[in-house]
Every structure is written in structure tokens, then in C-alpha cells.
Structure 1
């Protein structure tokens, strides 16, 4: 199976400038293509009789070469793949928007999610990679050289640069300690297993919320575009990266533990986007990373030979008694201890839900 591999680059000032130029060209091509496609959509809505065919990624690139490149000679300072892949990603984003799978694409801003993709003459050595136009880039760790990639994606987080590609990995089937386990996600505890184990979330945003607020308050008083303004931006971006890394580390450890030791895992199909609409709980839920938990668990179950069972989101795991199966009519969030009026069973609310998920996954 194919897995993503990502590592940090060890770049000098000249290479950092070249990478920033590639990101700028990719962002310019994306914004130009998005502006053009929006104009076409507006024209088709106003003139239903004289509709213009919605352009594909190939059409957009042809128009970019004919219209934009002659007026923007700095396009020739970077690899031709950077604007090509940006337009491909734009076309894919519009297809998902037309299918109602995602929201329509938005314009990109400098310094936010800067990245670009290249292909062609690529090579991976032990501690360096070769990228078109830029040349050799060093890395901090030894790289897997068994599989030569077809494309590289280079991205920036704060003041650091990262490179990623896909590698071929053989599935691993370690011995399992449990046959079936239910996992209930929550805010108080990140995950409660039907075995009684409780994993507490990192809550990294809550830990650094005051520090982040302080940095943002100081940043607003800086003169826009000044050296101190740029330094403050990097400080805020570093703290955001630290918060995200702490959260991802916690989730990686938990999902790896589950996929390696459990042969079958039952989780609930949570409506994360709908849950985040609750402004009272949105911050705490986002700090846990429910969506990232499921994403990691899905590919790790394939990697370690486990089976992931996603229980229907309307399954009343919290309201149902795990002993006799009696369902309660109402159960408020403040009730942390589940008490069954039929059989008299008392247990933790999250543990009761995880046991029900284990029964549903069996």
C-alpha cells in the first residue's frame, strides 16, 4: 500500500528564496484560475442561452501559457510543474464542489498554506533529494531509497520547509492482544475503550491559548509589513505549528496502539462538521481532533491488518444500557454516570457507550 512520507528540509537562504518563488507562482496560478472560473460561472448564470464550457485543467494551463506567462516573466524562473499542479488541484476542487462533497475553492493568501508540487527528474538519496530547477536539497534524517517517487510536494510551516511523497509499504500483521474493542470519543477524555482504558487528550490549544492570544494582541499593534510585524507573524505561526504537532503526536500514538493490538475496532460515525456548529463545544472538539483520529485509524488498520467497523451515527450508544439493552429516552451531557432504571446497572457514561460499540462491531 502507498503511504505518505514527510520530512523537514535543511535549506540555505538561496534555496529558501527559490522555494518561496515556486510557492508564489503556484499561488498566483491558483488565484488566476479561480478568478477566471468564477467569471465563467457568473456569465453562465446570467446568460443561460450563451453558456461557456467550464474549462478543464488542460484548458486553464493553455490559457495561462498564452495570456499570463508573456506578462509575467518571473514564471520562467521556476519549474513549469508548479503552476500546472496548482491548476490541476483547482480543477479537482471545483469537481468536489460541484458534487457537493466540499465547499467551493477560495483564494489563497501569501504565508498561509504555502506549497507546490513538482515532477520530472526526481531522485532520492540517503540524506538529500533532487528537485527540478532548484537542485539538491538536504534533509535532517535518512530517507527511504527503495521507491523512487513520481512527484514531490514541498510546503512551508512558519519558517520551516517540508517535503513529502508517497512510498510503497508492505502491510504488517503483528499478533493481536484483543479480538474486538469499542472506542468512544469524547471531550473530557479523548478515547474510552470498552476494556476500561482511558486515554486523555493533549488539549494543546487549551494549554497555549493564553500565550497565543497574547502574541496575537501584540501583533495587531505592529506596523503592517515592517520587520517586527514579520517576526511576530513567524512567532504566531511557530506556536500554531507546535499546537498542531502536539495534537498529532497524541493521535498517532493512540491510533497506532489500537491498530497494532486490536483485531477489530468499533467507532461511531461522528458528524464532526455538525458538532463543530455548536459554539459552546466547538473549541474543545476541535482541540481533540476527531476527524484526524478517524483518518489515521483508517489507513493504520489497513497497514497492521486490523478491521475498522464504523457504527451508524444514529446508533444510541450513550443512551442504551450495555447490560440489558434498555434505551433511555433522554440523557443530558451533564450526566456523566449512566444509571439503568430497568436493571440498575451503574457505570461511566463513556465506558457504557464504548461497550455498546464493541457489541455493535462484533
Structure 2
């Protein structure tokens, strides 16, 4: 048994919309107030405020007259936001993330409900303090009753509910196919058998529409209702781009998982790569990190394997035939001749073949392959 989140869109009634607006506002207020309290306590008194002290501060806020409105919504989302804040601080102190930042009302809003704050009955979901079930567009049935609900509203004004459920992952039949993929920009990835996927370039596809919406937004008066409407139009275009990108990545990753037993990929440092001002927009639009993440968790569910090779492995510079490594190979060079064996290589296909060989070596030897060391040529055949 493992846990999986199922996300659906729903359409709240006017009463539910008001309740959600109050809930989102209270969650945001509590998160920001407690974050300010913890920050001031450390900067002024060098005192670290943990989850227990933050929870006590929330209890005081509820009893105070000026913040009595916190009792109008369910207490569970307020409690959960403190747990998420504690997780954010743990990640910060352990060096995995930056210092937590304040939440804005103009970005995505969310509230998490545990089983004590919702009811699931006959494919109907009831939130706390609401007697009307959520009008959810059920695209597929839940495998079990949800243990946690996360209700969210994106910047485009759409409402979603994410149900965390337990399900039994079914392994796919074992197949002898093994493949290596080279991630890129001209093609999202190229496989070791020569298949090219192309790159849909979703941001460029909607660039004109996005530019017009942003130009209209820039001319609206700050704080006006028309500016809020124009901001929502811009958010809708961004949401369209994001939805198209996620749909494409899910389809491609599912196809690779279904067809191959082993998938070999590079360990790319995308955060460092987007510092290149010329390629940052294209790299972000490609979604390499999300694509590899999808491959990994889908492979785990399906009984497949994803092998990552070292980021410094010279997959493009190495000849997949004889193993010779060239010194310099600019990005503009898409095909090159090996000076040792005189074989002409397509840059991307050659890299994918080397990635497959290195990935299989990782699985066989149980250790990473990095640097300029030799890789058995037989593994790439």
C-alpha cells in the first residue's frame, strides 16, 4: 500500500466560495503572523520558537478580541499551516531550502483538511462548516476514502481539491527493453535508439497572447477592479501554458515507463543551468526536472528502474564506438567525426547511447560512473 494524491476541479456555490475565502484568508493570516512572531523572537532575543510555542501563540490569537474572526473557520487548516511552516523551518535549518517567506493573497491559496474536518460519503465530499457537498468533476473514482484533503484556488480563480488516498500499485509485465535518453531543447529528449520527441515550446506558442494580456495589465490603475480582472486574464494564460506542459510531460513519461524496463538519464542541476540568461527561458519551459521526477515515481509504482548517471559524465564528447573523448564540443556542433575511429556521430543520439551504457554500468556495478573513466563498449550496443 502506498499513498497517492488525486486532484479534481470543483465549482463551489456562492456560500462555499465565501467560506473558502475566509478560510484561505485565515490560513494566510496565521501563517504570516506566526512567521513574524518567530522571526522577531530570534532576531531580538535569539530565541528559537518551535512548533509547540507556535501552537500556543495561535491559541492566544484565537482568544484575543481583535483576532476572534479565526474561530469562524475550521481550526484544522490553521493547525496544518503551522505544521507546514515547521517543515519549512526544518528544511531551512538543514540546508535544503531558503528561509520561509510570507504568503501573498495574489498567489495560489490552499487549505488542508484532515479527516476530522471533512466527510466522504457515497462519492460526496463535505467540508467542515458546510452542509452542501462540493460539486466535483470526478474524472475517475477514488481507490479508497481520502485521509487528507487539500482545497486550493489558483491565480486564475479555479478551484481544485486534492485527495490523498491509499492505493495498491500494480507492477507492469517485465520487458527486456532498456533505453537511454538525452534531455535537450531542440528535442525534449532523444532516445538511444534514435527516436526524437520534438519540443512543443508551450511558452512560445502562447507568447503573443501573453504579451497582449500583460500589456493591458500594465496600463490599468493600481488597486482598481479592472486591474484585478486584467491580472486574472494574465494568470489564465499562464495556467494554460502550465497545463499544456504538464499534460505533455505526463504522456511522454507514461509512454517511456510502459515501454521500457530500465530508463537511464543524466543528473542535471537545472537550478544552476537556468542562470544562463540566453537559455533560462527555454530550459524552464522544457520542464526537465519535473519530467525526471515523474519518471522516478511512476517507475517505482510500475516496478521499473530509473538509473541516474553523474552530471559530469562526458556523454556528448565521448565516442560511443571506441570511447575516445574530444576536448571541446560547443553546443552549436550538432554532429561530429571521431578523430580516433572516423565514425560520424549525431550529438544527441551519441549522448543517449553513452547515457544508456553508463546507466547500465551503474546498475551492474552498484556505483556511479563519473569523470573520464572508460565505459565498456559492449554495454552501449
TM-score, normalised with respect to structure 2: 0.89
Is the CA contact 1:176–1:260 (under 8 Å) kept in the aligned structure 2? no
TM-superposed deviation, 1:359: 0.6
Alignment of 1:91-110 (within 5 A): 91-110=86-105
Q: Residue 206 of structure 2 aligns to a residue in which SS? A: helix
- How far 1:146 sits from its partner (Å)? 4.1
Identify the residue that residue 287 of structure 2 maps to in structure 1: 289
1:60 to 2:21 alignment: no
Q: Which runs of 4+ in 1 moved over 4 A?
A: none
Are the counterparts in 2 of residues 9 and 138 from structure 1 also a CA contact under 8 Å?
A: yes
Gaps of 5+ in 1: 45-50
Q: Distance in 2 between matches of 1:17 and 1:164?
A: 20
1:173 CA displacement: 2.6
1:133 CA displacement: 1.7
Q: Displacement of 1:178 after TM fit?
A: 4.8
* Consecutive unaligned residues in structure 2, runs of 5 or more: 361-381
> Is residue 132 of structure 1 aligned with residue 124 of structure 2?
no
Deviates more, 1:88-97 or 1:119-128: 119-128
Instruction: Kindly indicate whether residue 150 of structure 2 is the aligned counterpart of residue 153 of structure 1.
Output: yes
Which runs of structure 2 are paired with 1:1-362 in the superposition (5 Å)?
A: 1-44=2-45, 51-52=46-47, 54-67=48-61, 69-70=63-64, 71-119=66-114, 120-125=116-121, 127-135=123-131, 136-141=133-138, 144-157=141-154, 158-175=156-173, 178-362=176-360
Give distance in 2, aligned partners of 1:92 and 1:134. Answer: 29
Deviation at 1:243, TM superposition (A): 0.4
Shift of 1:324: 0.8
Report SS of the residue matched to 2:151.
strand
Shift, 1:56, TM fit: 1.9
Q: Verify the 8 A CA contact 1:8 1:162 in the aligned structure 2.
A: yes
The farther-off stretch of 11-20 and 176-185 is 176-185
Q: Deviations over 1:59-78 (max 9, x none)?
A: 21211221355221221111
Name the counterpart of 1:48: none
Q: CA deviation at 1:122?
A: 2.9
TM-aligned CA deviation for residue 2 of structure 1: 1.5
User: Do the aligned residues in 1 keep the contact of 2:76 with 2:117 (CA within 8 Å)?
Assistant: no
Deviation at 1:81, TM superposition (A): 1.2
What TM-score results when the alignment is normalised by the length of structure 1?
0.94
Instruction: Quote the Cα distance in structure 2 between the aligned partners of 1:109 and 1:191.
Output: 36
What is the CA–CA distance in structure 2 between the aligned matches of 1:38 and 1:121, rounded to whole Å? 30
RMSD of aligned alpha carbons: 1.6
Is contact 2:299-2:305 (8 Å) kept?
Answer: yes
Separation of aligned partners in 1, 2:327 and 2:319: 12
Report the 3-state secondary structure (helix = DSSP H, G, I; strand = E; otherwise coil) of the residue aligned with 1:233.
Answer: helix
Q: State how far apart, in whole Å, the 2-side matches of 1:336 and 1:69 are.
A: 67
TM-fit CA distance, 1:350: 1.0
Change (3 A) 1:183 1:176: farther
Which deviations, in whole Å up to 9, do the C-alpha atoms of 1:288-323 show, x marking residues without a partner?
001111111111001111101011111111111111
200-209 vs 173-182, which moves further: 173-182
| Deviation (angstroms), 1:179 | 2.4
Question: Following TM superposition, by how much is the alpha carbon of 1:271 offset from its aligned partner in structure 2, in angstroms?
Answer: 0.4
SS in 2 for 1:232: helix
SS at match of 1:97: helix
Kept after mapping to 2: 8 A contact 1:319/1:327: yes
